[in-house]
Amino acid sequence: MSEQIIEQARQHFADLVGSQLDRVQKMKAAEDWMDYSALKPIIIGFCWGDGIGPIISQETERVLQIILKDEIASGKVKFRTIEGLTIENRVKHMKAIPDDVLEELKACHVILKAPTTTPEKGGPYPNIESANVAMRRELDLFANVRPVKIPQEGIDWTFFRENTEGAYMLGSRGFMAGDDVAFDFKVITRPGAERIIRMGFDYAKKNGIDNVTIVTKANVVKTTDGLFLEVAEEVAKDYPGIKWEGWYIDIMTAKLIDPKRRTQFRVMILPNLYGDILTDEAAEMQGGVGTAGSANIGKRYAMFEAIHGSAPRMIDEGRGQYADPSSLIRAAGMMLNHLGFVEKGEKLNKALEICSQFEKKVVITGRDTGVTGRELCDYILDTMQSPDLDEKYKSYAS
Ligand code: IPM
Ligand code: MG
């Protein structure tokens, strides 16, 4: 019996190694960055998601229709709705992303994606892979960029979470050795680590930030995290004006809530799972995960989303209309920046910051003790369109 299991294990591991060696070859041969300025139309695909997804998407689309009015009219930008990325359709095809939906995604240039349900073992749906994880892999969206800003407390963080490796890449390809022994696999590759670390350093350099923090657990998880740290050391040599430090994820999690220490961090670069956990903690400080957006960036495609899930509990309890759309609206702002509509992105960001951090004329609580997502979006739109937006922002931010 155990001979047979060991043989299966050998085969399983050999397949995993083979798939990762192939992937590394593809990464090395990757094409250049997409140039959006040369495109007409830029096709933006909308996935409305599950749970609170369609509710917060509606508000986000409203914002984009206003902000991109001229570009839509001139044919520079086109919206396209992708219907099939719902949990029902995914379960029907028993696939994280059904084939025809993946084709539709690939026919767009960028994607704005509302939260989708991620099934788990023992839950109400078959345990198919997360649509996020599959999309990040299929479109090679290697950088998950998550900003968290709390200006009054001096917090200005940008997290660069590696998005296609770590504990996630092979998260649905674990191995049960008989009934009692379970394995999962974590993978870090040299080119995979290099591209995310370089992106973080480039961002720091471009924005005049002189320190970068690399977060791992390389003292314990020696092979994979060890390689990540080793690559960081190499890459850092190309950025002589930037100091860098390695921190372990446990103490980093603690220091993020230390008011004396946390303002020193600016750019944090981390493997996938650590980035997942730390960015939820950071977003909570900013006002909750409902306030945080995220950019998933690759060379050919990019996808923008909220950092949170589909909140089925809110729907079950009839609180859907109180869901905070800021997360997805913020993601839309990141999308505008990425596409080169930098001024528009800035404008939206300023409005979001004024409404959620400074002026706070209305408060959203996720229940009927606060305003609805629609009311919050009206407030954001009013602020964004008001002629004294810049002065207002300056008066608060200085
Ligand atoms: C996120 C989410 C996803 C992740 C889930 C939904 C798979 O938590 O984007 O942070 O873990 O990456
Ligand atoms: Mg997460």
- 101 — pLDDT class (breaks 50, 70, 90): very high
Q: How far is CA 395 from CA 193, 248, 343, 350, 383, in A?
A: 41, 38, 19, 12, 14
Q: What is the pLDDT of residues 241-277, one digit of tens each?
A: 999 999 999 999 999 999 999 999 999 999 999 999 9
CB–CB of 50/113 below 8 Å? no
Where are the CATH 3.40.718.10 domain residues in the chain?
Answer: 32-141+298-398, 145-291
Q: Kindly state the tokens that stand for 109.
A: 């240039």
Considering the entire predicted model, what is its pTM?
0.93
Q: What is the pLDDT of residues 315-351, one digit of tens each?
A: 999 999 999 999 999 999 999 999 999 999 999 999 9
Q: Which of 310, 273, 319, 323 is nearest to 123 (CA)?
A: 310
Q: How far is the CA of 133 from the centre of ligand 2 (A)?
A: 11
pLDDT computed for residue 289 by the predictor = 86
pLDDT computed for residue 149 by the predictor = 92
Residues with CB under 6 Å of ligand 1 are 118, 130, 132-133, 276, 307, 309
pLDDT computed for residue 389 by the predictor = 96
Task: Choose which residue among 128, 132, 278 to substitute to test ligand 1 binding: the one with the highest number of ligand atoms within 8 A of its C-beta.
Answer: 132
Q: Which ligand is nearest to the CA of 96?
A: 1
Q: How far is the CA of 50 from the centre of ligand 1 (A)?
A: 14
- Helix (H) or strand (E) holding 296, with range, is strand 293-297
Residue 398: pLDDT above 80?
no
pLDDT computed for residue 256 by the predictor = 97
Q: How far is the CA of 278 from the centre of ligand 2 (A)?
A: 9
Residue 1: pLDDT above 80?
no
**Residue labelled with tokens 């949170």:** 308
Q: What is the pLDDT of residues 16-75, one digit of tens each?
A: 999 999 999 999 998 889 999 999 999 999 999 999 999 999 999 999 999 999 999 999
Q: How far is CA 278 from CA 31, 162, 268, in A?
A: 31, 13, 10
Task: Give me the mean pLDDT over the 200-217 stretch.
Answer: 97
CATH class of 32-141+298-398: alpha beta
Task: Give me the mean pLDDT over the 113-129 stretch.
Answer: 93
> Ligand 1: which residue has its CA nearest to atom 12?
276
Q: What is the pLDDT of residues 143-176, one digit of tens each?
A: 999 999 998 899 999 999 999 999 998 988 999 9
Superfamily (CATH) of domain 145-291: Isopropylmalate Dehydrogenase (3.40.718.10)
CA within 13 Å, CB half, 97: 21
pLDDT computed for residue 120 by the predictor = 87
- 303 — pLDDT class (breaks 50, 70, 90): very high
Percentage of the chain modeled with pLDDT above 90: 93
pLDDT computed for residue 252 by the predictor = 98
pLDDT computed for residue 30 by the predictor = 85
Percentage of the chain modeled with pLDDT above 70: 100
Please, which residues have CB less than 5 A from ligand 2, an ion?
A: 276
CB–CB of 56/373 below 8 Å? yes
Q: How far is the CA of 151 from the centre of ligand 1 (A)?
A: 26
Instruction: Please state, as a whole number, how many other Cβ atoms lie within 10 Å of the Cβ of residue 13.
Output: 13
In one letter, which amino acid is 217?
Answer: K
Task: Choose which residue among 97, 165, 276, 307 to substitute to test ligand 1 binding: the one with the highest number of ligand atoms within 8 A of its C-beta.
Answer: 276
CA angle, 347 then 352 then 358, to 5°: 115
Q: How far is the CA of 44 from the centre of ligand 2 (A)?
A: 24
pLDDT computed for residue 79 by the predictor = 97
pLDDT computed for residue 110 by the predictor = 98
